[in-house]
Structure 1
Amino acid sequence: MGFGSYDESEQQNQDVNTDEDGSEGVSVHENEHEGEVTFETDAATDELMDQLAEIKDDADEE
């Protein structure tokens, strides 16, 4: 068989088990969390802004 060829007999009678009623679906609200994230840094705001500008410049060059 050449590249991309397949046996058509393997493509027949494929049973697909679909869940029509949605009872087995994924719940997007199953693991909701509430809270906050905080961090402390010794860097000054100006230093952080300079680092951000460098990152953006590097991304623009690519």
Structure 2
Amino acid sequence: MGFGSYDESEQEKQETNNDDDHEAVNVHENDHQGEVQFESEASTDDLVSRLGEMKDDDE
């Protein structure tokens, strides 16, 4: 057989493996509900000022 040729008989009886033994993926299995809290010594003004400095550094 030349390049790109194939045996058509191979195309007729293809087996597919559709095992039902596999479980579906549950994307919500590890969802968590709640809140995150943290304490900081810095004031809101300090944090906003630092954010401004970080933005200036990017430029």
Short-chain TM bin? 0.5 to 0.7
Amino acid at match of 1:47: D
Please, which runs of 5 or more residues in structure 1 have no aligned partner?
1-16
Q: Are 1:49 and 2:48 an aligned pair?
A: yes
Unaligned runs of 5+ in 2: 1-15
User: CA RMSD for the aligned pairs?
Assistant: 2.5
Q: Shift in Å at residue 26 of structure 1?
A: 2.8
Question: Could you tell me which amino acid in structure 2 is paired with residue 58 of structure 1?
Answer: D
The answer for the alignment partner of 1:27 in structure 2 is 26
Q: Give the drift of 1:28.
A: 1.3
Aligned residues: 42
Normalised by the length of structure 2, the TM-score is 0.54
Query: For residues 27 and 50 of structure 1, do their structure 2 counterparts lie closer, same or farther at Cα, with a shift above 3 Å needed?
Result: same
Per-residue Cα deviation, 1:3-62 (whole angstroms, up to 9, x for no partner): xxxxxxxxxxxxxx886x8x6443211111111100111111111001001111112x2x
Q: Give the fraction of aligned pairs with identical amino acids, expressed as a percent.
A: 55
Aligned in 2, Cα 1:54/1:47: closer, same or farther, shift over 3 Å? Answer: same
In structure 2, the partner of 1:37 is: 36
Q: Computing the radius of gyration over CA atoms, which structure comes out larger, 1 or 2?
A: 2
